[in-house]
Every structure is written in C-alpha cells, then in structure tokens.
Amino acid sequence: MSEDNLILPEAVLADATTEAVEAAEAPKPARRKATARRKTPAPAADDALSEVIAASPAEEGAPPAKPKAKRAPRKPKVAEVVQVDTVTADLFATPPEVTPEPALEQPAAGQPDEPVSTASVPHDAAPTEAPALALTPAEEVVSPLDVPTVAESEGIDEPAEDEPAGAEIDSPAAPRRKRKRRRGRGERVPAVQGEQVEMPGLGEADGESASLECGDALSEEAGEAAPSVAAAAEPEALPPLTIVSLGLEQPPVLSAAAQAALRAARLVLGSADALDRLQGLAPDAPQRLCAADSVHLEVRSAGHAGNVLVVVGDAAGDGPVPELLAELGPAHVRVLPGVGRVQAACSALGLSAEIVSVVDLRRAPLAALRGQLRAHRLLAVPVADAEAPRAVARLLLDSGFAQARVWVCEFPASGLQAQAWLASELVELREQMDARAVLVIATGPSSGVFSELPGLSDAALGDGAPAALPLAARLLALAWLQPAAWESGWAISDGEASLALEWARAVPTARVRAVGIEPSLLGVSLQDAGIGENLAATPASSPLRCREWPMPDAVFIRGGVGLSDWLSATWARLAPGGRLVATAEDDQARADLLAFSAEVPAEAWQEVGLARGETVAGRLRFAPGAPVRLALWRKPALS
C-alpha cells in the first residue's frame, strides 16, 4: 500500500500537524493546563487540540521548550503554525481501503530535516510519557473512528456570527467543516499536485443522475423497440403432413388425435372413397380429390405443411406412406395408424401376423412372389387388379404347388368376405373379384420344381449348366459368404451366373448383382430357377467401373482373366465387416490368389478335388476334374 494514496480525515491530520509543530514548545506541564481548560467555557475544539498536544511525546534529541504563554481561546498565533495542505474528508462515510501516503516532512526548530511520523492519537490517551515509535507505511492506517468525539459537537459546527475571520486558520477542524457546509455543490476544492482530493457527495449525485438518465434512455429504447420486436416475431410453424388411417369401418371411428388433425388441417387430400367416408364427420377444412397413383403430385403442388392425407384402411400398408417417407423424410410426415386390409384378413382367418409373410403386388411385379415361394409357407398378397388372383393361381401351378390353398378376402360396403379356393380351381374361376382384395396363400407341399435349399439342379441352370461352377464349390462359397437378408453383394463371373442364382434363391430379400453376364441370358434362368426380382445383371466391365456401384457387404469372384485387378478393386470397395471369397481353377488364378494374400492375409483356405462319375459301356468311371482352390478374406469392422 503506497502512502501517496492515503486520504486522512481532516481533524486527525490537523492534530498531527499541530503536534509536530508545537512538540518543542509545549512543556510537559502543559497537560495540566489542558485539563484545567476543560472547565472553562472555551470551545471544545481548543480543548481537544490542547489534549492532543499535551499527550504527544517530544522528539528524541530536541531541546526542552519553554512553557507556552496563555492565549486567547480562538485566536492562536498565525505565525507559529506551519501551513500544510490538507484534504477534506467526510467523517460520516466509510472510506475505502487505501494505501498510506508518505508523511509530509516538517523541519523541527534547530534540528535536521527528518520525516514526521503520523499516527492516529485517540482522544483518551494516557498522560504518561511513551517513546515515539516509527510506524511502517503498512501500519499507518487511520480510521475515522479515531477522531475525537469533541469534533462532532454542534457548537463547533455553528459558531457565532461575530466570530473573527482569523479563527478559520487557527482551528482547522471546526472552521473547515463550516466552510464545507457553506460550499456550494458546483464549487471545487483547489487540489495540490500529487494529492488526491475527496469530494463527498459529488460522486453519488453524479451516479444517481447518470443512472436516472440511463434508465430513462433504456426505458425509451425499450418502449420504442417493443412494437418492432412483436411485429418481427415469426409465425408459428405449420405441422408436418399428417396421414390419417380411416380403417375399414364405415363410418370410420377416429381417435382424438385424428379428429384434432382434421379440424386443424389447411387442406384435406384423399381418394373418392376416403373423402366420402368423411362426410359424416363434416370437417371444415377444404378438400381435394386425388387418385392413389397421383398422391405425390398433389402433395407436391399443395404443399405438405399443415395438410392432411386420409387413407382407407392402414396408411402404412394400404397407403403411400413408404414412398412419402422416402421423399419427404420422417421429420415432415406424421402417420396415425389404423386397421388395414392385411390385418383384417389375417384376423378373420385366425392367423397370426408373425407367421405370415407379406408380398405386396401393388408395389412389385408378380416375379417377386415367385422368389418367395417355398413349401409349407403362409403368404399375404394384397393386389391392385381384378385379374391378379387368377394370375397368382397360375404361378402356383407352374411352380409345382398344385395343392396350394388360396383365401380371397374382399371388402365390400357390407363388411369383409372371405372364400377359399384351390389353386387349380381359382385358375378356372371367371367371376369378377374385388380389385383391392387380399390373398392369403398356404403353399403346402412342393413337387420339387423349385429347390428349397441351395443347390440348383442342372435343369434349373439350363444351357449354362456345363460351364457352371461345381456344386460343391458353390455351397462352400455360400457357407463362407453367409449373406444376410438385408445385405447386398456382387457375384463376379465371366459368362455364367450359377453362384448368383444360388445366392438370390437362398436369400430372396437380398440384392445381388451378377457381373459378367448379359441380362437377356439371365432372364431365362430366373424363370427356370424361380428367382424373383432381387437379382440384376451387369455385362462384362472393367474393375474400375465398380466404383460407381453401391458398396457391397459380400463379394464372390470366380478366378479368370484379370483376377488380381478385381481382387484389389473389390477389397477397396468392400464395406467394413464384409466378406470376400475367391476361387481359382488354373495355375494363373492360384498365383494371383497367393500374390494378393501376400498383401492382405487370407482368413481361410480350402481346395476341393472333384471327380464326376459316369457310366461308359455299362461300367462306372470317375472323370477327375480340376481342383478348385478357395480363399476367404474378412474386412475389419469399424469399432
């Protein structure tokens, strides 16, 4: 704490100054005079000053001073007082913590210049002598509580009007308070360079006026800006497109959420049947008619925000929910479910939805059902054409399911009606059927036209059977690939698609790409092998073209020309956690496998030696074939 910043109270600084000046002049017996003067009617300020002078010890080495002659109470000698610049302070305000200011140097009479130590002298100090202690700057802390209580007397603050002007100089405490009270607010106290002058009350007044002005300005700004903020508020966002399922009951029984959505709708879209069912509910929103195949166009033209689309049955199964979700995104589509045609048909027949596989012919061709045909399976097939039931029965007969039973569930205005037919009977039926019927098929036993497990026969492979990969190698490759129902993969082989057919037949929901075969040739094999629409053909192309295809989860490569290039390209394109299986049937292909395994170590190796048995001249002979070497690589999955 520096002494330059010390702000001393006025009375204490005056007492300390007087003590330093009169230390050499006032003798010790002066204390009695100060005590005796208390009984006189002299002003309290002179008595306090006399007590402080008497209590202060004399400086060491100073000559004894002569007793001071009596003087008038309020007219001390002006020449004996050394003029010292003082600062005014508010005795009733708590001063902030400040650093001590260096004491003013006052030369004593007949002594070299020495710093005069200033210390607070309490008014009730003992009259005994005590050695003068030099206080360090950190200890020189003056508190306004140390000011004598005599300074608070009203007699000092309000002297007589006929008091001489010289009293203002002799007693610094009382006259300065008097002068401070008479000073106007706009006046300033002359400050000495290097000292801090405290002006009580000025900061508070300025702060109050500034705060009032700031408050008024802020209130005015807030009052002016409030209407603009309210005007600039954005309107409430419209709800997403709501698709309401009306169910199959007539009139429909709607939930509270569906009724609230219809009342708050900006526009109601739907087919003629769906809008007719809303007549009893009488929604206030405007309505627009749209066909089932033009819903996307109507939603795009009218906008999806705030609109409602009504669908008869279940919106997820009987309406365009999958397409709208894919086009607009889940954040912009809200679906309110209901009972659909498939649920109602299964419930009417006492079947659980968990054991029924749905093949929706409204969104897929008839070939999708061919890939799902297996022995002893339950299939639910919604149709969108009145001729579809007879076409399904014909496919069952051609696939070897002559004993299959088909329930035709129709939904007239009176309610659900279900009739059971054999596949052979349904083909010959000429009655008109509901275009929105649901067929529930129990396939029953199979005559073996389509294989139930992997292992297509030569008849199913057709003209490509001689060049096909041996059956044992196909089965081992599928066992290593382990294709899942949701995965996609590539089967790369030049001129034949035996493993691609096995793959697509074994997993009818997987997406398989047969690389190296013409689509026209593959179409015939699809019919013979009972493959659905999950297999696509890509003509022969270079390995660089695979960068344009979707990332595969599993890849099979049959060794041939350019095997090393295909291995590098497919491994770079393979998804994390994917599997790569390659075969080699000649020495060049085996060398390519070994070279690639030197860069990427293989997980498993297997070589299959095959010999085909045949009868020649009544005798059985085995014609050994070239061994097939297989290798498996598994790409590390992301952690």
Mean pLDDT across the stretch 579-590?
94
Return the structure tokens found at 573: 């394109």
Nearest-angstrom CA–CA distance, 631 and 579: 11
Cis peptide, bond prior to residue 251, ω within 30 of zero: yes
Question: What secondary structure does DSSP assign to 431-491, as a single string?
Answer: S---TT-EEEEE-----SSS-SSS---HHHHGGGSTTSPPHHHHHHHHHHH---TT-EEEE
Pick the CATH number of 458-634 from 2.60.40.10, 3.40.50.1240, 3.40.50.150, 3.30.930.10: 3.40.50.150
CATH 3.40.50.150 placement within the chain: 458-634
SS3 for 113-134 is CCECCCCCCCCCCCCCCCCCCC
- Highest mean predicted confidence (pLDDT) among 17-26, 458-467, 584-593: 584-593
Q: What pLDDT does residue 72 have?
A: 54
Mean pLDDT across the stretch 250-254?
86
Q: What pLDDT does residue 152 have?
A: 43
In the chain, the largest separation of any two C-alpha atoms, in whole Å, equals: 166
Question: What secondary structure does DSSP assign to 41-53, as a single string?
Answer: S--HHHHHHHHHH
More confidently predicted of 112 and 393: 393
Q: What pLDDT does residue 462 have?
A: 80
Nearest-angstrom CA–CA distance, 584 and 503: 19
For 595-637, write each residue's pLDDT tens digit.
Answer: 999 999 999 999 998 888 888 888 998 888 889 999 999 999 8
Q: What pLDDT does residue 304 have?
A: 81
Q: What pLDDT does residue 214 have?
A: 45
More confidently predicted of 195 and 494: 494
Q: What pLDDT does residue 76 have?
A: 52
How big is the CA angle at 168 (ends 167 and 174), to the nearest 5 degrees?
Answer: 95
Does the pLDDT of residue 38 top 70, yes or no? no
Mean pLDDT across the stretch 262-271?
90
Lowest-confidence pick of 154-168, 294-308, 616-630: 154-168
Lowest-confidence pick of 4-13, 311-320, 333-342, 522-531: 4-13
CATH 3.30.950.10 placement within the chain: 351-442
Q: Which amino acid is at 605?
A: W
Mean pLDDT across the stretch 403-410?
93
Other beta carbons less than 10 A from residue 449's beta carbon: 16
Measured in degrees and rounded to the nearest 5, phi and psi for residue 359 equal -125, 105
- Fold of the 351-442 domain: 3.30.950
The separation between the first and the last C-alpha atoms of the chain, rounded to the nearest angstrom, is: 62
Lowest-confidence pick of 47-61, 327-341, 561-575, 581-595: 47-61
Nearest-angstrom CA–CA distance, 412 and 410: 6
594-603 burial code (b ≥16 CB/10 A, e <16): eebbeeeebe
Average pLDDT for the chain: 74
Structural Rg of the chain based on CA atoms:
55
**Residue 451 pLDDT grade (very low, low, confident, very high; cuts 50, 70, 90):** confident
Q: What pLDDT does residue 317 have?
A: 83
Does the pLDDT of residue 507 top 70, yes or no? yes
Nearest-angstrom CA–CA distance, 521 and 98: 101
Nearest-angstrom CA–CA distance, 444 and 568: 47
**Residue 501 pLDDT grade (very low, low, confident, very high; cuts 50, 70, 90):** very high
Mean pLDDT across the stretch 403-432?
90
Mean pLDDT across the stretch 223-228?
47
For 230-246, write each residue's pLDDT tens digit.
Answer: 445 556 678 889 999 99
Does the pLDDT of residue 5 top 50, yes or no? no
Percent of the chain at pLDDT exceeding 70: 63
Written out in words, the top-level CATH class of the domain with range 241-339 is: alpha beta
Tell me the CA distances in angstroms from 75 to 22, 25, 171, one per residue in order.
16, 18, 9
Mean pLDDT across the stretch 145-151?
42
